[in-house]
Structure 1
Amino acid sequence: MGTVRWLMTPVSRFKYVFLSLLVIFLGLAGVIGGRAYYLSHHPKLLGVAPSPERPAPLSTSTPLPPSAPNPPMAAGSGVFDQIAAEVSGVYEQAVPTVVRLRATDGPDQLAGTGFFIDGQGTILTAYAVVGQAESVSVEVNGRTFPAKILGRDPRSGVAVLKINASPTPHLPLGEGMRLRPASAVVSVAFPYDLKAEPTFGFVAGFDVKYLTRFFATTHLRANLPIKPGQIGGPLLDSQGRVVGVLMLEIDEGKACYALPIEAAAKVASDIQRFGEPRHGWMGVGVMPDRSRPDRGAPVFVDRLYKGTPAEKSGLKMGDEVISIGNRPVREPSDILDAAFFSEVGAKVPVKVKRDGKEQIFTITVSARPDSSRIVEPAPLFPNPSGGPANQGMPVKAIR
């Protein structure tokens, strides 16, 4: 009989609860101190303050009647009650859309979480939950359905499934790549064999690599603890919109990485339209000027892969990349993201600076070849001390 593999190292449930409460308390204590009464009457604590581009955060709590001034400790308790009410509202909306997945992969069983993305039974999850399993079952409200695997993509970490059930509840999609550090997020997923539970945290940043692992596109890093079985679940913003898919736990489960929903939706769309993911290929590698650590430092073409769209376009090594498509290039991840989101066959304008003059070249995006067929070219700056990228590290934006 096979064993259940939870996709991460188990950690005590009580330790997670304690750490979650401790993080929330320490993070808010400095804000609450001296102004607790004020904050208790201005409970806009989740997400970024509303702007013309962003609707106001969702509030599902019932307003409390006015009360007499309380001492700081009592007011602080009101703040926590408000947070709990906001998180509860997001959780209640999300629970019907989240499903538990069990996949059979040889002698083992993989267990994780997924969620509906439309009313026709289509489910989005992480590739790690499905792997190369031949059969997957989906548990929905006490019922179990066999799932059809529409497609899986190890490169982005996405898998798409479908069950024969409709209509299925689903949540609106948000904009994960537009969140900012300190934006509040909530995950709703199944830990172990328990019911789906909410976890509250904050966006910590955006990265294209973790330790020695490079991502296919920018990932969202969150100070949000993840337990075994929760990989593949949705990451939600303060309005209950899906902003990411939980992909990787880090720091012994105390934090996580999520693939922004824009990237996951792009892969899911490819799979639904073509039966497979279609990753664009430009064939260019870049290097930042690490002598200028500020965002906006020049990014240079460091490698051109032979016979690729970038080489055919007329780009040369040493060109400073200013923009690609409609995206300004302020760091190598901008090129990485532009390549990831480019449709195969699309013509993408690339603006560069060469010999002090701006020029525009057009790259016709091709399908990314298998990694085994990619021949690494020699970099323009083979050592950290050479070229404009002093102490820079080559970033293969198309790998």
Structure 2
Amino acid sequence: MDEVLIVGGGIGGLATALAVLRAGKRPVVLERVSEQAVVGSGLSLWPNAIRALDALGVGAEVRARAVTDASGGIRDSAGRLLLGVDAAALQERFGEPIVVHRAELMAILRGALPDGVLRTGIRVTAADESGRVVTTAGERDAELVVGADGIRSVVRRAVAGEVEPRYAGYTAWRTVVAPPEPVTEFGESWGRGQRFGFAPLAGGRVYCFATANAPAGAPDGGLAELGERFAGWHAPIPMLLAAADPAAVLRHDIYDLPALPRFTAGRIALIGDAAHAMTPDLGQGACQALEDAVTLGAILAGDGDLRRYDAARRPRTQRIVARARRMGRAGQLSARPLVALRNAAMRRTPASAQLGAMASMLDWTPEESATIAL
């Protein structure tokens, strides 16, 4: 038996299918929705993720549809710089970060798979350590079951039992707009309990995202609420909101996962949000899922010992989850004295210190996946 059953057809699941193919195994991806919607959001891909895409054979195609991230750093609501980013130094040290539309990355990953690998409209209802899964299309057995089914993962129950995601204390809006004037700089602005960010995409589009402190499940005021919250913020934020389509604004409360005791059990391995869902504050969610895929593929091409996957991925991703959560808490501070202290500390942070702090995330290479010691 050489079938690897991948539950979930998102970025992590599709990337894992490519990695499994390269390992000489036969992937089958089960996706519960019959037709995946075009999600109106952008995606930051840091150099570690781009190396993973190169290892999967699709890096060049992704770069061709992306825009290089020339970050303008973090500003306050009036546009005053709080923390600058030396884009040239970042690129020289780690490589070039990019931004791509999520739907375009998904299309590239799907297009790289042979016909028949992706099976849609099939929902997995249970899995166990033996490699057996129960689906709406019947039961099946596999050499390996990969749980790539997100933060509310069904497969995870067989590895870690019932795990309740943690609400981060804030909600987020996302949309893609076509502004009347070009936007070439990337930026994120922090206020009191809310943030707004924007990133150019190919074709003159701009990905916009915003956050605000709110109880879980609070009513969604949509674009009108965004207009009220960010009225008076610096350019180009008003222009971007004015260009937005109310029907294209997505809102999701932000959750992450507590640290799991393990990522593998028997013939099951967890990847992406099923294993280590994190807040979006470091832009590493999809990046870590891509690393997971490459690492698992390298192990399957070798001795297949899933303990190596757990040893390689669990400590690293759980550190990043914790770091993202801390960053989110800092960004969502709302008390005036604490915001003033935060802003003052950011202004005093040298660019060199910022690059040094990023090293542990961005230095990852696919070669590490093949040299994992237990």
TM-score by length of 1: 0.23
User: Does 1 or 2 have the higher relative contact order (CA < 8 Å, sep 6+)?
Assistant: 2
Higher strand share goes to which structure? 1
> Could you say which structure has the larger radius of gyration?
1
Higher helix share: 2
Give the alignment's TM-score, normalised by structure 2.
Answer: 0.24
